[in-house]
Amino acid sequence: MATVRVTFAPKLSDEALTAIIRDAAPRPLDRRLLAAHIEAMPAELRQPPLPLARLILALAGVEVAGPPRLVCTGCGAHAGPDGHASTTGVHCGPCARTCPGCTRPYRRAGEQICSRCRRDVHRQRGDCAGCQRTDRILDARGRCHHCRADRQCADCHNPAAPVRHVDGLGVCDRCALRRTLDRLLPEQTAEPLRRLRQAILAADPVATRAWLMRPRTTSILADLHHGRLEFSHAALDALPVGRDLEHLRALLVAAGALPTDPHRLLDRLAVELTDTIGGCGEPDRRVLHTWIRWRLLARLRRTADTGADLTAPIYHARATVGQVTDFVTHLHRASRTLATCQQADLDEFFTATPSTSSHIRSFLTWAQRRRHLPGTLQLPPSRRGALAAPADAEQRWSIARQLVHDDSLDIADRVAAALVVLYAQPISRIVMLTTTDIHTTGGTVTVAFGADRLELPEPFASLITKLPHRRRVGTSAHLPNQWLFPSARAGKHATPRAISTRLRRIGIQARAMRQAALIQLAAEIPPAMLAGILGIHPTTAVKWTRLAGGNWTSYAAARTSSK
């Protein structure tokens, strides 16, 4: 609220002055306007802002000495306490045009009654019989527009729900969603779309209806319902690529309308990479095509068969092919090919772009073994990233205590952070956890990271059983899901990048925290047991044990002798 300082009314109390200001400027905008014009006013005002004119007339009515004089808009005389201020101007008592209908000085020159009374000729105005507010336009039952019975939903007759107009009727958001969906997928729709219809009706009505009303969504759903579009991935792949199409595809797969195709992303990637190398000349294009098909994509398909997440490998594959294409283009500008490449060409390229060696060295090594690249060339050394400094132990335990006691954090964030901070789990494995990985026996909750099951303490044992926890109740939330950390896209899990971003927002650097946890666990647990509990390779467990300074060489003999 704007502060209004009235220096020319010193005899009035603060309570009385505040009441006068609120009557003269009832709206916040009026008070801001009043505060901007009340300083440095002349002794006589002509055509002042309406809030200021009302204030001066009110102060003149309580006989406060000192306020500026108001000049009548009609005759130019002084407008005293009997004057009136309205949107038509400031008028003295004789010049005020009082409306015979409402007895207010709102009548303009040449008008029999004011504009408000003209609008209210066919209206009933008075006190509302429902909310008891005064001076309201009433219906035949004496209720204002906020209390009218006809504001209830025309379909479900819910008087408390907000009403929007659909098909000429006032309906609530839920019924508006149903009416919109009936035009696209009626109740008698094809069998593959019935589960999707049920999930859409159960979702958030406002956001889901806005999504349904998008032209592309409307077109695809209508074509599927009328049979103009086949229920196949090939038919959808023929449409223009877009995030909206992939979102709808995921919904159809989760609803059972489309079959699951784990290699579809790799098939599309193969087409994309073929287009990427299309600008390379022969015979290098044939070499790149062979490498992509039998080396790059073959490795990705083996990864897909294990059920691992392909987000990062596909991203790396695109970057690698892009850098290889740049290298081949660099050779072509020098009128050379892979077979005629010289050491100077290789050195010049890596000097200009030193960060590319980590991407294309695998291709160069493959090309040399297949004799597509001269074997006498010396390839740049492999880049090995330096091991980042682990988090401080005290900082790690401080964050662990926060995860235990801070109930304001999101459930999914607390569980994911606990698995990183306490159990050294990588984000890529956390996002792959499913509901089948969680076992509850009696009051014990266990989770499987490797060959052995790990018992979770409270409060994380209770929190992990509440997963999946969705922040948005969209259509995908009402379709079958197995992931503990689901994505907004139906049937998909959250990406490691998304979880890492969420953890950084609460002050957790996942890589540094995981390394700190691994160092402590490796110092306290034998490598074989550590590998089984955390699901890491035994060689990796031994490496971390050496890094932590643990000595378990006599552990097996000591355990045997104690039996």
- Please give the structure tokens belonging to residue 349: 């390229």
pLDDT tops 80 at residue 115: no
Q: Which residues contact 200 (CB under 8 A, 6 or more apart)?
A: 177, 181, 185, 208, 212, 475
In residues, how long is the chain?
563
Rounded to whole angstroms, how far apart are CA atoms 116 and 98? 13
Between strands 44-45 and 438-441, the pairing is: unpaired
What is the average per-residue pLDDT within 479-488? 87
CB of 357 within 8 A of CB of 475? no
pLDDT tens digit sequence for 142-195: 777 667 655 678 888 776 666 777 877 778 888 999 999 998 888 888 777 888
Mean pLDDT of the chain: 81
Q: What is the pLDDT of residue 414?
A: 92
Summarised one tens digit per residue, pLDDT across range 81-100 is 667 676 667 777 667 677 77
Is-contact 362 382, C-beta < 8 A? Answer: no
pLDDT value for 109: 64
* Two tokens, residue 139: 């219906």
The better pLDDT of the pair 130, 447 is held by: 447
Q: pTM to 2 decimals?
A: 0.64
DSSP state letters, 326-367: HHHHHHHHTT--STT--HHHHHHHHHH-GGGHHHHHHHHHHH
User: 111: which 2 tokens?
Assistant: 């008008």
Assign 342 a pLDDT band (cuts: 50, 70, 90): very high
- Beta strand 136-138 with 124-126: parallel, antiparallel or unpaired? antiparallel
How far apart are the C-alpha atoms of 394 and 380, rounded to whole Å? 41
Mean pLDDT in residue range 242-250:
88
Token pair for 464: 């992990």
Confidence of residue 12 (pLDDT cuts 50, 70, 90): low
Structurally, at CATH architecture level, domain 393-556 sits in: Orthogonal Bundle (1.10)
Q: Would you state the pLDDT for residue 1?
A: 44
pLDDT of residue 122: 64
- The predicted pLDDT at position 557 comes to 47
Give residues with Cβ within 8 angstroms of 171, minimum separation 6: 153, 154, 155, 156, 163, 164, 165, 179
Residue 160 confidence (pLDDT)? 63
CB 67 within 8 A of CB 8: yes
Domain residues of the chain, as ranges? 14-108, 163-254, 264-369, 393-556
Report how far residue 557's alpha carbon sits from residue 542's, in angstroms, rounded to the nearest whole number: 18
Contact 4, 60 (CB under 8 A): no
Q: Which of 289, 287, 300 is nearest to 369 (CA)?
A: 287
Query: Could you tell me if 448 and 434 are in contact, meaning their C-beta atoms sit under 8 angstroms apart?
Result: no
Taking residues 374-391, report their average pLDDT: 75
pLDDT at position 154:
80
pLDDT exceeds 80 at position 411: yes
Is residue 6 pLDDT above 60, yes or no? Answer: no
Residue 424: Cβ within 10 Å count: 23
Q: How far apart are CA 72 and CA 47, in angstroms?
A: 9
pLDDT category, 56, cuts 50, 70, 90?
confident
DSSP 276-300: HGGGSPTTHHHHHHHHIIIIIHHHH
Do 350 and 365 touch, CB atoms closer than 8 A?
no
- Which residue shows structure tokens 């204030």? 55
